[in-house]
Amino acid sequence: MSAPRTAMVLAAGLGTRMRPLTDDRPKALVDVGGRALIDHVLDRLAEAGVQRAVVNVHWFADRLEAHLKARGRGPEIVISDERAELLETGGGLKKARPLLGDDPVFVANIDSVWIDRGSALAELIRLWDADRMDAALLLARREGSIGFEGDGDFFLADDGRLGFRGDAASAPYAYMGVHITRPDYADTGPEGPFSLSPLWRASAAAGRLYGCVLDGDWMHVGDPQARDEAEARLKGAA
């Protein structure tokens, strides 16, 4: 399976939990280990073969656009403007549809940083099969992750199919912020803001939601404490 050449990077959020670090900038521009969060993600995507990244913007949109124009390295950046209204994950993907082309795409959050012992995005590419799947998600083990305090999101079957935690007290895996899907996956969603989660639940029920697990250390950089812990972990791995 060839690598997706286009990615949707979800960078429009308000970063409320990251305050005061987001009082004067979008969450995407919070610095972690000497690089903005969005640069960590874009560099990973470039390494995986992505040539074009569609980035949605809202909070401090002008500042984020200026940063992206000044990056000086790939991938090519295209802006999906959400200044008028935050559309959440599903709505953002739906709005960006005309910019994404017709081939499978990566969809990536900007608050995930990871240390790779394997090759996580390459594993995700190998897993992806458009005939059998609606989406293929990159997961992390809940234990040992930095900045993730939930009870887990998913169970993973031997064949790679995902099941939601549901009524279980906990599940071993958390979604770590990157997946592959069809560019039209969110087209059937409502107008305005909506989450991808209901679409994933429908896909899981149909046996069309799959995943693979990061071989490495995941840092969910959602608040200032997690940012500090991630910087310490990155420094320790240097």
Give mean pLDDT, residues 65-86.
95
Average pLDDT over residues 156-164: 96
Given a cut of 80, is residue 2 above it in pLDDT?
Answer: no
The mean predicted confidence, pLDDT, of the chain is: 95
Domain extent listing, the chain: 6-237
pTM of the model: 0.95
Residue 236 has a pLDDT of 80
Phi, psi (deg, nearest 5) at residue 141: -70, 135
Are residues 233 and 221 in contact, defined by beta-carbon separation less than 8 angstroms?
Answer: no
The CATH number of the structural domain formed by 6-237 is 3.90.550.10
* Average pLDDT for 94-123: 96
Mean pLDDT throughout 87-108? 97
CA distances to 141, 152, 215, 228 from 144, rounded to whole Å, are 7, 12, 12, 16
Residue 1: pLDDT over 70: no
The answer, yes or no, to whether residue 11 has pLDDT greater than 90, is yes
Give me the residue label for tokens 């998600």.
137
Q: 118-153, pLDDT tens digit by residue?
A: 899 999 999 999 999 999 999 999 887 888 888 999
- Cβ distance 106 to 8 under 8 Å? yes
Residue 229 has pLDDT above 90, yes or no: yes
pLDDT band at 238; cut points 50, 70, 90: low
Q: What is the pLDDT of residue 66?
A: 97
What CA–CA distance (Å, rounded) separates 91 from 151?
26
